[in-house]
Amino acid sequence: LCWPRSGGIRGGGAMDLFGDLRRMNKRQLYYQVLNFAMIVSSALMIWKGLIVVTGSESPIVVVLSGSMEPAFHRGDLLFLTNFYDDPIRAGEIVVFKVEGRDIPIVHRVIKVHEKGNGNVKFLTKGDNNEVDDRGLYKEGQNWLEKKDVVGRARGFLPYVGMVTIIMNDYPKFKYALLAVMGAYVLLKRES
């Protein structure tokens, strides 16, 4: 009995040859899958690491509306931090969530009232909006508090977030992209 080695093609019959090839492909397939899993895990770890370092549950966000134009346009990417000790001050750009709504809003702080004990309430308004955000808050809510803040905008990149908007609006594009990425990773061979 002879054991076939990977990559080796022994002389002696077509069936042996096919056996070799099938085994070779299966092993390489598993290897590629593992490689893919490692890439995904690393990406997730980097994301979690960013959450820890910035203190924000969502350190990178995409601007969805034009309410902060001409500074930010739909599709721009914002980098946030949310350090607990950072005070909220007028003029800062904050990303906040209204209770009961999933989608966070990026606007500027225009009023701050802070008590001696650190309790703070503030009002926001989009640069491109005529009125402040009271209409966007929950029924009866007049102010935002620190707990509503997802983060403060510290840096920004234009256009880069458009990809996620396209993927959201055109799910077929998202699946096509995933299929292409999956095929690439699984079929690519290391030379």
Partner 1 sequence: LRKNVEDFTGPRERSDLGFVTFDITADILNGKNGLQTFWNKNALIIFDWNVKQLFLYLSAEYSTKNNALNQVVLWDKIMLRGDNPRLSLKDMKSKYFFFDDGNGLKGNRNITLTLSWNVVPNAGILPLVTGSGHVSVPFPDTYETTKSY
Least separation, in Å, of the C-beta of 6 and partner 1?
48
The pair of structure tokens assigned to 39 is: 């890439």
**Beta strands in 34-179, from DSSP E residues, in sequence order:** 60-62, 77-81, 93-96, 105-114, 120-125, 144-145, 149-157
Nearer to partner 1, 148 or 152 (CB): 152
Question: Please, what is the Cα angle at 99 between 169 and 131, to 5 degrees?
Answer: 80
Could you tell me where the beta strands, DSSP code E, fall in 2-76?
60-62
Report residue 82 as tokens.
């949310």
Candidate list 59, 60, 92, 137; residue touching partner 1; CB under 8 A:
92
Contacts of 161 (CB under 8 A, 6+ apart): 61, 62, 63, 75, 76, 77
Interface residues for partner 1 in 107-146 (CB under 8 A)?
108, 110-116, 121, 127, 132
Q: How many residues bind partner 1 (CB under 8 A)?
A: 25
Residues annotated catalytic, as ranges: 67, 107, 133
Q: Which is nearer to partner 1, 70 or 171 (CB)?
A: 70
Among positions 16, 28, 65, 154, the unique one binding partner 1 when judged by CB under 8 A: 154
- Residue 89 interacting with partner 1 (CB under 8 A): yes
**Would you state the structure tokens that stand for residue 22, as one six-digit string?**
């099938």
Which of 20/132 has CB closer to partner 1?
132
- Our measurement of the distance from residue 18's CA atom to the centroid of its chain's CA atoms, rounded to an integer in Å, reads 44
Q: Is residue 155 close enough to count as binding partner 1 by CB under 8 A?
A: yes
Question: How many Å apart are CA 78 and CA 92, to the nearest integer?
Answer: 13
Give residues 47-76 in contact with partner 1 (rule: CB under 8 A): 70-72
Figure out which of the listed residues 33, 53, 157, 166 binds partner 1, where binding follows CB under 8 A.
157
Q: What residues line the site for partner 1 (CB under 8 A)?
A: 70-72, 89-93, 108, 110-116, 121, 127, 132, 153-158
